[in-house]
Each structure stands twice: as structure tokens, then as C-alpha cells.
Amino acid sequence: MRQRKIKDLDCKLQNLSEFIVSEPEAARGKWNEIFGNNNPIFVEIGCGKGQFINAHSMLYPNRNYVGIEGQDSVILRALEKTAATESRAKQLNCDDSREKGLSGNIMYINKFVGDITEIFASRELCGVYLNFSDPWPKDRHAKRRLMHVDRLRSYFRVLEENSFVEIKTDNEELFEFALMQIKEGGHFIEEITRDLKASEFKAKNITTEYEDKFMLEGKNINYVKIRA
């Protein structure tokens, strides 16, 4: 989807740079130092406007979250959500704001990431979320899909033992592709449904902007959670 041009975009991003890790490759193996704690780290690749990852950071204050998004105009909206949360914490003057889920546990990478192992070290993550990823529908672009078997293997190289990858998509063809790649990679399917809203899985409780839109249109949400 083509994004509207935002006036003074670079300046707005700079004003929110405290939430951006500008050299993520240099952070490899040091993410807990960046967050200033030893809490588990979870990543959303393609975090969009940040509804999903910000909701997670509020609900789980004892976890750290990294949102990855390459489109400047889109990540700006995610950053603004996080900044608003930070502002709320300051207004409340809460010394224990981190424990209350008001701030401090979310950072962003403002770029498209090709190889996640260049940014995170072995066993540095505890979960990866792939929500409504670009389907790259042409066959010649299959390796660009975030659930290609090579990508799945790379995620598990940086995940702790028994950690997970969760996938949501409204795209039936992409979901079928994902299932084939999961089978090829030999990964264990822990949860799966072609209608997440009607399921009992907790993954339905926190949604993305796209997810809300598609459900209003009556589309089913495909979902699968895998482990190594």
C-alpha cells in the first residue's frame, strides 16, 4: 500500500530517535545492555504502525520488544505510539512505570532486515512475530518471503531453545506457502487455525491494524505457531 507523504518526516523521526537503534548490527549480542535488563526479548518483523508491539509491551512489562520496519512513514506512527506511552508515564510521575507497563521496554530498527543473524546473536531472542507480511506473489521472489525456509532457519538460530515463531496472514496462498516451508524445515507446529478469531488461541487477543481491518471485512485470519 502506498503511503502518504509526511511533511518534515526526517525531522519527526529524528525527534523520536531515542527509541531507534541506529546501528543494529553493532548491537548484536548486546541487546540486553541496550534495554538495561536481562528480560526476554521478542521481535516483530514488519511492525507497521505499531499497534501490536505497543500492546504487547504494555501487557508484558517484564519483556523487551524490538519492532523492525523499513518504511519511514509507517514506523513514524509506531514511534509516536511509543512516545505517547512514555509521555503518559512521565505525567503520572511513576517511579515504577516499567513495572506498570508504561514505558521502557520497546525499541525499533528503522530498516529492512535481510538476515536477522546479523543483528541478533545466538539465543538472544525468545520469540519472533510475522504479522501480515508482504506476500511477494511472484514465484521468482519466493526467497524474499519472511516465512521462506531459509528465513525460518535463521530465526531459530537466534532464538532460545523452545522459543517460537508466530505467523498471521489473511493471504491464503502465502499461508499455504508458509506451511510447506515449515514442513520442509522440520519445525513443530504447536498451534494452527484458519480462523483465528473463532479459535481459543491467545494470539487472537492482541491484533494489528491490518487484522482489525480484515476482520471488519469478514476475512478469516490464518495463524500458525511453530517451534524448532
pTM beyond 0.95: the answer is no
Partners of residue 106 on adjacent β-strands: 65
- For residues 62 and 228, give the distance between their C-alpha atoms in angstroms, rounded to a whole number: 24
Q: What is residue 125's DSSP assignment?
A: E
Estimate to the nearest angstrom the gap between the alpha carbon of 160 and the chain centroid: 17
Model pLDDT for residues 111-131, shown as the tens digit of each residue:
999 999 999 999 999 999 999
pLDDT digits (tens, 9 = 90+) for 48-98: 999 999 999 999 999 999 999 999 999 999 999 999 987 776 666 555 544
Do 54 and 85 meet the contact criterion of CB atoms below 8 Å apart? Answer: yes
Predicted confidence band of residue 1 (pLDDT cuts 50, 70, 90): very low
For the chain, what is the largest distance between any 2 Cα atoms, rounded to a whole number of angstroms? 53
9-21+38-227 in CATH: which number?
A: 3.40.50.150
Distance CA 66, CA 177 (A): 26
User: Domain locations in the chain?
Assistant: 9-21+38-227
Mean pLDDT (the chain) is 92
Q: Catalytic amino acids?
A: 134
Residues 169, 176 contacting (CB under 8 angstroms):
no
- Separation CA 66–CA 101 (nearest Å): 15
What does the DSSP assignment read for 83-121? HHHHHHHHHHT-TTTTTTTSSSSEEEE-S--S-GGGTS-
